Structure 1
Amino acid sequence: MPANPVLFQTLFNHYLNIPHCRWLKIYGDSSTDEPVISVDWRDELLESPKTGNIHGGVITTLVDMASACTLAALFQQFETTATLDMRIDYLMQPVPDQPIHVRAHCYRQEGSIAFIRSHCFQNDETRPFALGMSTFIHNPLTHAEQQALQAYLQQEQAK
């Protein structure tokens, strides 16, 4: 269960509505505090029609979003976040024409630094085709940032 379910759902929706996530048509399952972030296979996401491999930027985005959402599940209040480092190790190529999913797990926090592991899979979560490691920094919002955020959220709800 997320530390603050309302905050978690707000951040989850925000991350998936970032313009490049919308273009990629990323979607997710936020029913746990380790959400699954997914994208359906589309030929326009291939690095090259000749290779048939999905572009690495798609996988990078999925790992980054899954990691950020997993971190957001730990927050009691809004915090700023930034990806400091990310590594993705490919074990094999994903199978064409099948959705790609990523689940992440925050395995350690030291002060404002969070260490997150993720695995990329298709049909079988126990058989990942890639593994990710991410390091994030996160900090609580200042009072002025909290006020600006509240104003923004009220404006968004009025739409």
Structure 2
Amino acid sequence: MTETAKFDPRAATPVLTSRGHSGWLGLTYSDHGEDWVELTLPWRTDLLGEDGQRVLASGPIMSLMDMASGLAIWKTMDRFEPIATLDLRVDYVRPAREGASVFGRSQCYRLTRSAAFVRGLAHDGDVDDPVAHIQGVFMKIGGADTREVPNG
């Protein structure tokens, strides 16, 4: 019997963010743990939300958190499996500081047979002063994984 490779967010991120929307945003790998992944969104003037305002738009931050959440789910399952975002709530607390990259850390805190639940935050260098908090539910499309993750 062959042992399957474990999911490695550090190796997977460059592949998953090399094209499309994530590639255009320039998302990069930052860090990960057993059930969480952190990505970086670089600050750029073409990602600003409104003319005359030096504030990063909310859309790129939402995309950052969606991708970090997917990677956290795959890390928790220890494999890549198709998933779909069912609900991703983003509560913006404050604007990101001008010129600062935004880090998006998402944790997969529960897996069921058909769903994965995530929570996390976006920050611009200080996790104690977040830019946004997230909560989300993703649908697992692939094979059934009946292993449950404790409610950390």
Q: Same fold (TM over 0.5)?
A: yes
Specify the alignment match of 1:89 in structure 2: 91
| Equivalent residue number for residue 27 of structure 2 | 26
CA–CA distance in structure 2, aligned partners of residues 82 and 30 of structure 1: 23
Deviation of residue 106 (structure 1)?
A: 1.1
Would the alpha carbon gap of residues 6 and 117 (structure 1) be closer, same or farther in structure 2, given more than 3 Å must change?
Answer: closer
What is the CA–CA distance in structure 2 between the aligned matches of 1:132 and 1:15, rounded to whole Å?
A: 21
Identify unmatched segments of 5+ residues in structure 1.
142-159
Moved more, 69-78 or 80-89: 69-78
Give the superposition deviation at 1:107: 1.6
CA distance in 2, matches of 1:52, 1:98: 11
Q: How does 1:128-147 map to 2 (within 5 A)?
A: 128-140=130-142
Residue type of the alignment partner of 1:38: T
Query: Structure 1 vs Structure 2: percent identity of aligned residues?
Result: 25
Residue 97 of structure 1: how far off its partner (Å)? 0.4
Q: What is the DSSP-based 3-state SS (H/G/I as helix, E as strand, rest coil) of the residue aligned with 1:73?
A: helix
Instruction: Judging by fraction of residues, say which structure has more helix.
Output: 1
Q: Give how far 1:128 is off.
A: 1.0
Alignment correspondent of 1:49: 51
Aligned to 1:75: 77
Q: Quick one: distance in 2 between partners of 1:8 and 1:26?
A: 13
- Number of equivalenced pairs: 140
Q: Secondary structure at the match of 1:117?
A: strand
Q: TM-score under structure 1 normalisation?
A: 0.77
